[in-house]
A and B are shown apart, each in its own frame.
Chain A
Amino acid sequence: MSRRTGPAFSRRTLLGGSATAAAACALAGSSAASGGGASRRVLVQVFLRGAMDGLTTVVPHGDDDLYGLRPTLAVRPPGQANGALDLDGFFGLAPTAAPLLTPYGNGHLAIVHASGSHDPTRSHFEAEERMEFADIGQPAGSITSGWAARYLQATAAGATAPLRGIAVGTRLPLTLREAPLTLPVDDFYVDFPGHPFSSLMRQRVIEDTYARRPASIAAPAQATLDAFAVLGIDTTNYVPENGAVYPGGQFARRMRDVAALIKADLGVELVTLDVGGWDLHANLGPTNGDMAQLLSALTRSIEAFYLDLLGLLDRYALVVLSEFGRHARENASAGLDHGHGNAMFVLGDVAGGRVIADWPGLAAQDLDHGDLAVTTDYRDVLGELLLERFGFSDLATVFPGHPYAPVGLL
């Protein structure tokens, strides 16, 4: 990246589309103008930290064993008070996940149930690391990068955007560990801080000194300096389209910003968001408590994001996943301990409106140590997206040691 030589251009013009983005890059004196990542599809990962309970969110109301395992916590079958919203006669959505019916009904949301990571651990932090590094079965310590980082590394040749990945927030998740040109950013309108009259000189000293340091700090420093040139999205005055209404709260605000980012077409290819609070060992509240509220905030945000980008289905794919599901049987504190299999969601131009599941059943002999078994590997969901929607075939690099088997998402 060449150094910026003049005063910052008015970046508020950026939010107009690829033409203005390219012009802005040219103004910034950046090589990104020569093609940019403009109009590359953006992969958005929403990671539900703490183990979201997939058996509440997508209720297998057709499996009678559920009601034996969870006499008080299972969402009741469709038609009953606070019952599930039926999807296909066997699965249904929790009542407060109703906003997902909008993309589901349009065929733009696919649900993959009994999915997840085959790693047997029930530790959140082990499970997240295995899932985000996608290193199951690999020699210990042989893999130090996230799967999405390896995807960005493997596609570096064709990429010219100054910023390729964004973790919305304050830190990169393990998914993006060692990702090139990737930063944690929580505000998409950034300016170089401090006195304007010394700004350029200070940037120069920072650029020169960080460049002398190892790549592990020099690269994010340069990416940050370059980000000032492109990240000028006026999210404050952003107006969602198609009647999309984002609810309140941090996650909704971030989803709205990501929608604005996708429209701005800056060449960012990978975005991650984290949502915590799902570790509900006590008082789960599937229809009127904590879980219900979390689902409401999550799904209303997803619905708004979907409507906002209704005309741009070919420009993104959004995946929602969690490190594992929760125990099949409820505990005595009206909560659920750690489990295994879970539900994943894929939003975009997929063959949606379906729950894809090789349903293992919830009878005692079908459970994996008391938990829903994993019959679909999460890497196959991600792999199919990368292959079919991102034109990326080197799946062995991203998911080493894993023989790819299509899920049938598309």
Chain B
Amino acid sequence: MRTQMLPPDLPSLNLPRPVRAPEPIAPPPSSHEGQGLRRAPTTGRRGWLPLLPGGGLRPGDRAEPERPRDPLLVLVHRITQGYTQEEYERAQALGFEGYLEEQLDAFALDDSALDALLAQNYPFLAMSPREAYDAYSVFTNSPYQQLKLARLTRAVRSRRQLLERMVEFWNDHFNIDHNKGLEWLLLGEHERTVIRPHALGNFGALLSATAFSGAMLYYLDNWLNVAGAPQENYARELLELHSLSVNGGYDEDDVEEVAKCFTGWTLEGDYASPDYLRGKYEPSYHEGGVKKLLGTLIPANPGRDNAQRVLDLVAGHPSTARFLAWKLLRFFVTPNPPGELVLQVANVFRASGGDIKTTLRAVLTRENLSPPIVAPKYRRPMQLVTAGLRALAIRGRAGSLMLEHLAEMGQTPYDHQAPTGYPDTFEAWGDGLLPRWSFQARLWRTDFLWPGYGMPSPQEMLARLDLTDLSDRSGLAGRINRRLLGQTLTHFEERQLQGFIDDYPRAFDALALFDCIGLASSLPGSQWY
């Protein structure tokens, strides 16, 4: 597969040249009416919310576990990549606010041991695009493989669990597919310098960092956006997916104006430069003239600042606040966030100037994580795999077999082709049970060799279930449910699991124990969190 990764025009990139002389821009019309231009529907079919139909379960559905769960337990489920008894006990010791604040202050948590392990195994993560290009021939794992395995291992083992959740969230929100061309060189630096530092920072700063990131400039073609005939791919997705949302109040003229503002933002094509393939501004590609976005005039000069003016306008727009509030509530709290709550969180977002931590404090409240607001979230494949590996408590690195299972389930990092990112609804994933069951059965087979994972011994697993041996199996299903799964199984499911344990068709040894855990993880309750 290596040949596929070889970029076509390296090391000297063929940067675009304006093919037509920039035409003088006529003053923008005072009104869009009568211009014969197509307009995006301003009266949204679904209001301003970019709701996929249904949004959650179908009418009359009640798929939530029957057990009431205390808000702290829900918090542990929602802000981690999977429940562990250790995490829950620590959260209990810190209390709801204490635990949340610990996780919000992510960089105060020492993750140096994991960082060192990843740096040793995945050197690509620390490289600039130029360094990655030069190192290409000596990599034992492809850059993309390194990036994915590091993501997965961090998600499972990092102490900064909420940060990893936000990395997942923003990587979907600002989706980049690695398959298009050069992204394989650019994504390491993108995740390291754009997504991670800002994931719990300020939204405006994050939006700007993504806009000028080489990876985004490449993925959405803005590096080719030059004066004369602007290239609107990035402009459209900026408005539709990154900020205002599809019915957020912009029209086709706004898309074109944003594209003009972003002309000239391209990639450094000079291999001799240390900034090779990083974003840069090239004045000769910029389309001059006054632009107008959402009714606001953007002065012609300095042209370099046009793009930042756009970003500031859309980052502070009320539609962006509502869109992000809705999306964060859906990600953490409920598939169908109530309208008042969305507005409340949107107001917090705006009042804080787009501060992500402040906004998350308004999302992750005891009240929001309690009935009637909180509702079960269906696990996406990534959450299923990380939760499984966390329940297994691996001490090493996730291996490529996990990526194969993720691919079978349809969610490997940086593999979503369309800029929407992976969907976050039950409807999108609810039919794909077969590869989920396959994954669980595979994960919990102790007769299977897992080199590098650092699998727990049967004795360790017994200790985590608070057992010394398997002579007394009564109540084992309950122990699995409480101590490994975080009470996700219903009473009925726990009883059925206990029945399976009681009637196990062979001697009940360690292999049988793992078989039971695998089954428990395949039951309906384990599909939600």
> Interface residues, chain A, CB within 8 Å of chain B?
49-50, 120-126, 129, 133, 140-141, 143-144, 169-172, 177-178, 182-186, 190, 192-195, 197-198, 201-202, 205-206, 208-210, 212-217, 220-221, 224, 227, 276-277, 279, 281-283, 331-333, 335, 337-338, 368-370
Does B40 lie at the interface of the complex (its beta carbon under 8 Å from any beta carbon of A)?
yes
| Chain B residues within 8 Å of A170, by CB | 408-411, 432, 435
Taking a contact as CB atoms under 8 Å apart, the answer to whether A184 and B38 are in contact is no
A182 touching B496 in the complex, CB below 8 Å, given contacts A121-B41, A333-B224:
no
The closest CB in chain B to the CB of A178 belongs to B58
A201 touching B496 in the complex, CB below 8 Å, given contacts A123-B240, A216-B63:
no
- A50 to B230 Cα, complex, angstroms: 19
> Interface residues, chain B, CB within 8 Å of chain A?
16, 18-20, 36-38, 40-41, 44-47, 51-54, 57-58, 60-63, 220-221, 224-226, 228-233, 236, 240, 246, 252, 408-411, 417-418, 420, 423, 426-435, 437-438, 440-442, 445, 490, 492-493, 496-497, 499-500, 503-506, 511, 515, 518-519, 522-524, 527
Taking a contact as CB atoms under 8 Å apart, the answer to whether B236 and A193 are in contact is no
| Chain A residues within 8 Å of B435, by CB | 170
Taking a contact as CB atoms under 8 Å apart, the answer to whether A202 and B519 are in contact is yes
For chain B, what secondary structure do more than half of its interface residues adopt (helix, strand, loop), or is it mixed?
Answer: loop
- A216 touches which one: B426, B432, B505 (CB < 8 A)? B426
Taking a contact as CB atoms under 8 Å apart, the answer to whether A213 and B228 are in contact is no
Taking a contact as CB atoms under 8 Å apart, the answer to whether B441 and A281 are in contact is no
| Chain A residues within 8 Å of B427, by CB | 177
How near does chain B come to A182, taking the closest CB pair, in angstroms?
7
A276 touching B506 in the complex, CB below 8 Å, given contacts A214-B60, A332-B229:
no
- A184 to B505 Cα, complex, angstroms: 32
| Chain A residues within 8 Å of B240, by CB | 123, 125
How near does chain A come to B27, taking the closest CB pair, in angstroms?
21
- A214 touches which one: B58, B434, B515, B519 (CB < 8 A)? B58
- A171 touches which one: B61, B252, B431 (CB < 8 A)? B431
| Chain A residues within 8 Å of B431, by CB | 171-172, 182-184, 220
The closest CB in chain A to the CB of B56 belongs to A216
Task: List the 6 shortest-distance A-B pairs measured between CB atoms, nearest first.
Answer: A170-B410, A194-B441, A369-B38, A333-B224, A332-B229, A193-B441
- A122 touches which one: B57, B252, B519 (CB < 8 A)? B252
The closest CB in chain B to the CB of A231 belongs to B434
- A216 to B54 Cα, complex, angstroms: 12
| Chain B residues within 8 Å of A198, by CB | 504-506, 515, 519
The closest CB in chain A to the CB of B14 belongs to A283
- A209 to B408 Cα, complex, angstroms: 24
| Chain B residues within 8 Å of A133, by CB | 53
Taking a contact as CB atoms under 8 Å apart, the answer to whether A141 and B53 are in contact is yes
The closest CB in chain B to the CB of A145 belongs to B53
Taking a contact as CB atoms under 8 Å apart, the answer to whether A171 and B432 are in contact is yes
| Chain A residues within 8 Å of B503, by CB | 201
- A281 touches which one: B38, B233, B426, B506 (CB < 8 A)? B233
| Chain A residues within 8 Å of B233, by CB | 279, 281-282, 337
How near does chain A come to B525, taking the closest CB pair, in angstroms?
8
| Chain B residues within 8 Å of A190, by CB | 434
A194 touching B445 in the complex, CB below 8 Å, given contacts A144-B53, A209-B492, A333-B16:
yes
Taking a contact as CB atoms under 8 Å apart, the answer to whether A338 and B410 are in contact is no
Taking a contact as CB atoms under 8 Å apart, the answer to whether A332 and B441 are in contact is no
The closest CB in chain A to the CB of B503 belongs to A201
- A120 to B417 Cα, complex, angstroms: 24
How near does chain A come to B81, taking the closest CB pair, in angstroms?
20
The closest CB in chain B to the CB of A71 belongs to B19
- A184 to B240 Cα, complex, angstroms: 28
- A122 to B445 Cα, complex, angstroms: 49
Given contacts A141-B53, A201-B504, A281-B220, 16 further A-B contacts (CB under 8 A): A121-B41, A122-B40, A129-B53, A177-B53, A178-B58, A186-B408, A205-B519, A209-B493, A214-B61, A215-B61, A217-B430, A279-B418, A281-B221, A332-B228, A337-B233, A338-B232
- A197 to B447 Cα, complex, angstroms: 14
Taking a contact as CB atoms under 8 Å apart, the answer to whether B418 and A123 are in contact is no
| Chain B residues within 8 Å of A120, by CB | 38, 41
Taking a contact as CB atoms under 8 Å apart, the answer to whether B437 and A276 are in contact is no
How near does chain B come to A163, taking the closest CB pair, in angstroms?
11
Taking a contact as CB atoms under 8 Å apart, the answer to whether A171 and B428 are in contact is yes
Taking a contact as CB atoms under 8 Å apart, the answer to whether A195 and B46 are in contact is no
How near does chain A come to B441, taking the closest CB pair, in angstroms?
3
- A224 touches which one: B229, B246, B434 (CB < 8 A)? B434
Most buried by A among B52, B504, B524: B524
Sample (6) of A-B pairs whose CB atoms are under 8 Å apart: A49-B418, A186-B408, A197-B506, A332-B224, A333-B225, A338-B236
| Chain B residues within 8 Å of A194, by CB | 437, 441-442, 445, 515, 518
- A216 to B335 Cα, complex, angstroms: 15
Taking a contact as CB atoms under 8 Å apart, the answer to whether B229 and A210 are in contact is no
- A195 to B442 Cα, complex, angstroms: 9
Taking a contact as CB atoms under 8 Å apart, the answer to whether B433 and A224 are in contact is yes
